[in-house]
Amino acid sequence: MKLKLLSTTPEIQYQYIVYFSERWSSSLSSAVTRCQPLRLSAHSQPATQPAMDDLSRLRVKELTEICRNFGIRTSGRKAELVERIKANATYQADVAKMAKLGISNGHHSGTKRSSGDDDGGSNKKQKNDREGDEAIDELFARFQDAEVEEASITEDGIFALCEALGIDAQDPVMLALSCAMESEMMGVYTRTEFRRGMHKLNCHSTEDLRATIPTLRAQMRDRAQFSTIYSFTLGFSKDPTQKSLALELAVGLWDLLLPGHFHWRHHWRQYVRKNSRSVVSKDLWLQVLDFGHQIKPDLSNYDENGAWPVLLDDFAAHMVELIKEKGLAAVQIEEKAMAADGDKTDEAENMVVDE
C-alpha cells in the first residue's frame, strides 16, 4: 500500500508515513485525528522524503508535535527545536528508512495477474470485511445499552466488557483501548467508535481483544505511543463545554498514567493539590509529561529559563531545595513512603461500609 498525503508540509507528511510504516496499530489513528488531509490510496504515489533543511519552514506548533513523537524536549526557541530534531538519532534513522521505503514502494512485482484473479480477490476481501463487520456488530450488541437513543455502550456495558476481558475498569489499558476507538467521551462508546477501534486492532471477539491487551500495555510503556494516548486522554476526560480539566480528575488520571513516566509523581500530586487552582489547563497537562520524560530525578538538567508552565517551574524549584536540604536518597525514600500512604488512602476511599 502507498500513501497519499494532501495539503500538508513535507515534514508532517514524513511524520505520519513513519508512524504508518512502523507504528500502525497505535499511532495512525492519532495522526488521522490531528491531520485530516491524510488519505490512503492503493494507487497514489509515495510522498517525497523531506530534506532536513526544510524543518526551518515549519511552524513552532508543528515542530513541537514532531518533538513529542520522538521524546525530544519541546521547550525553547524554534531554532533550538529544529537543531534537536536534526540531532535525534531516531529521526535520522527514520529519514533513511523512508527514503528506502519510497523507492521500494515504487516497484511492483513482475508477476502478471488476470483481471479475473483481481476480481476474485476483491470479492473475497469484501466478503471477509462484511463478515468481520457483522462479528463486530454482534460483539457491540452484547454490551450495548438498550435504553439510550443512540446505539452506545455506556457505563454498565463497559464494566461488563472489562469483566469479559479479565481486567479492572480502572486499568489504564482501557485508556489505550479508548484511544484506539478515538472515543470522544469518557464512559461512552458509540457504534462508530467501537467499529473503528476493532478494525484498527483487528479484533472481532472478546478473545481477540483479550489477546490484544499485552500489545496495548506495551503501547503504554513506549514513550512515543504513550504520548499519543496521554494527549488523547485530556479531550476524552474533560467536560466537553470546558477547555480545562478539573483538578481532582486530573490528579486521578495522573495516578493512572504517570507511573513509569514521572519520577516525582507523589511529590507532584501533593504539590499540585496545595498550589494549583481548581483546574488543569491543556498546556500544563501536556507539559507535565514532557517534564517527566526530560528532567532527571536529581533535576540536574532542569533549566530555570526553559519555557515550562509557572506551576512546573515552581515545583522544580521546590524539589531542588528539598533535595539540597535532605539529599536525593532521603527524598526518594520519602517518595516511596508517599506512594504507600497514597495506596492506603485510595483503599480507604474505596471501602464500602455496611450500616
| Per-residue pLDDT tens over the stretch 202-254 | 999 999 999 999 999 999 999 999 999 999 999 999 988 888 999 999 999 99
Domains of the chain and any CATH numbers: 2-104 (no CATH), 123-223 (1.10.238.10), 238-347 (1.10.238.200)
pLDDT along the chain (355 residues), means of 10: 45 49 42 38 40 71 82 77 81 71 43 50 57 88 88 95 96 97 95 96 96 97 96 93 92 95 96 91 96 96 91 96 96 92 48 34
> Which tens digit of pLDDT belongs to each residue from 245-298?
999 999 999 999 999 999 999 999 999 999 988 899 999 999 999 999 999 999
- The alpha-helical segments, DSSP class H, found in the chain are 10-22, 24-34, 60-69, 78-87, 89-104, 115-143, 155-165, 173-181, 191-201, 206-221, 223-237, 247-257, 265-275, 282-294, 310-326, 328-350
DSSP per-residue letters across 57-112:
GS-HHHHHHHHHHTT----S-HHHHHHHHHH-HHHHHHHHHHHHHHHHTT---S--
Q: What pLDDT score does 263 carry?
A: 95
Q: What is the pTM for the complete model shown?
A: 0.62
- Please choose, from the candidates 2, 6, 5, 16, the residue with its C-alpha nearest in 3D space to the C-alpha of residue 66: 16
The conformation of residue 257, written as its DSSP 8-state character, comes to H
- Please choose, from the candidates 346, 232, 343, the residue with its C-alpha nearest in 3D space to the C-alpha of residue 285: 232
Mean of all residue pLDDT scores within the chain: 78
Angle at 231 between CA 225 and CA 233, to 5 degrees: 105
C-alpha cell at 142: 452484547
